[in-house]
Amino acid sequence: MRILRTAAEVREALAEARSSGAAVGLVPTMGALHAGHVSLLDAARGSCDTVVLSLFVNPAQFGQAEDLDRYPRDEAGDAEMAAAAGVDLLFAPAIEEIYPDRFDTWIEPGKIGTFLEGVARPGHFRGVATVCVRLFNIVEPNRAFFGRKDAQQVAVVKQVVRDLGLPVEIVACPTVRDADGLALSSRNRFLSAEEHAVALALPRALQAGLAAHRAGDDPVRAARRMLDLEPGLRVEYVAEVDLDGPTLAGAVVVGSTRLIDNVRLIEEA
Ligand code: AMP
């Protein structure tokens, strides 16, 4: 596995693979890799000849009061996991490589970015969309892999790709969870054992919502009722929305950690 820092290095490294018709897969991440990220790498490995992992903590998708400074960073550990997962190229650029001096062009998603996370985190999807387009331009992947854990992000990226006519297929992969049901997240490491136990109310509530939906009842009410039983967390939202299909999504704050999760309200094919 090669570790590359610049767009020029990536283009050069991929030129040969591309000229021989190899399919290139990109898995964009902010690092602090866990089994959720590895599942995306496995999916990329399964359908692409060359797998590129990008590792970039994107300042543009963090709000001023958010956790950019404390976001976990562990490039050495990430490189080890990436190599074990069969990554060919690890692209870990400096901020200036993605946002050079006087950078001043942004991708602003429309309606799809205006509710849920778009309200809770103003500017977040503008940062996500812009960095994805930057990465797609550098890597020119045939496929890019994203987790349904961030369901609205998937919907935003698909919209951007469709609207701008970008030649990349967006592949959405299922959410990977701890044995106890908590969706894996780089931010879970901030949870104490007690907070982790409290956070489990979120996947429990979403499952209750899914069960209610299947029984013909209101999933939001059922999920809310379950969350209200847990005084240790603050609910930011629980909502039924269309994110690439009907989805029950929730966001909660436990201690100083914000967690999001969702379930699809249709059976997976
Ligand atoms: P992040 O590093 O948090 O920006 O995530 C990078 C990619 O991994 C995104 O496409 C996420 O949706 C995906 N991802 C994060 N957590 C999980 C998970 N638990 N299961 C599946 N994909 C995930």
DSSP 20-46: TTPPEEEEEE-S---HHHHHHHHHHHH
Q: What are the beta bridge partners of residue 4? A: 91
DSSP label at 175?
A: P
Given the residues 37, 124, 196, 213, the one annotated as active site: 37
User: Is this model's pTM higher than 0.75 or not?
Assistant: yes
pLDDT value of residue 266 = 85
Contact 26, 54 (CB under 8 A): yes
Which of helix, strand or coil describes residue 7? helix
For ligand 1, atom 11: residue with the closest CA: 147
Would residue 124 show up in a list of annotated catalytic residues for this protein? no
Nearest atom (ligand 1) to Cα of 177: 19
Tens digit of each residue's pLDDT (9 = 90 or more) over 127-161: 999 999 999 999 999 999 999 999 999 999 999 99
Query: How far apart, in whole angstroms, are the C-alpha atoms of residue 189 and residue 168?
Result: 33
Given the CA of residue 176, which atom of ligand 1 is nearest to it? 20
Q: Is 152 in the pocket of ligand 1 (CB under 6 A)?
A: no
pLDDT at 162: 98
The predicted structure's pLDDT at residue 65: 85
Give dist(CA 123, CA 109) in Å, integer.
Answer: 10
The rounded Å distance from CA 147 to ligand 1 centre is 5
Q: Residue 268 has what pLDDT?
A: 60
Distance 215 CA to ligand 1 centre (A): 30
- The residue contributing the CA closest to ligand 1 atom 12 is 147
Query: So what's the pLDDT on residue 130?
Result: 98
3-state secondary structure of 183: strand
Stretches where the chain sits below pLDDT 50 are none
Report whether residue 203 contacts ligand 1, using a CB cutoff of 6 Å. Answer: no
Q: What is the pLDDT of residue 67?
A: 84
* Mean pLDDT for the chain overall: 96
* 146, 158, 182: residue to mutate for ligand 1 pocket, most atoms within 8 A of CB: 146
Q: How many Å lie between the centroid of ligand 1 and the Cα of residue 16? A: 29
CA distance 172 to 154: 7
263 CA distance to ligand 1 centroid (A)? 15
Helix intervals (H) in the chain:
7-19, 35-47, 75-84, 95-98, 117-120, 124-139, 151-164, 193-199, 201-214, 219-228
First CA to last CA across the chain, in angstroms? Answer: 34
Residue nearest to atom 14 of ligand 1 (CA): 147
Q: Are 265 and 248 in contact (CB under 8 A)?
A: yes
* Rounded distance from Cα 78 to ligand 1 centre (Å): 14
pLDDT number for residue 69: 92
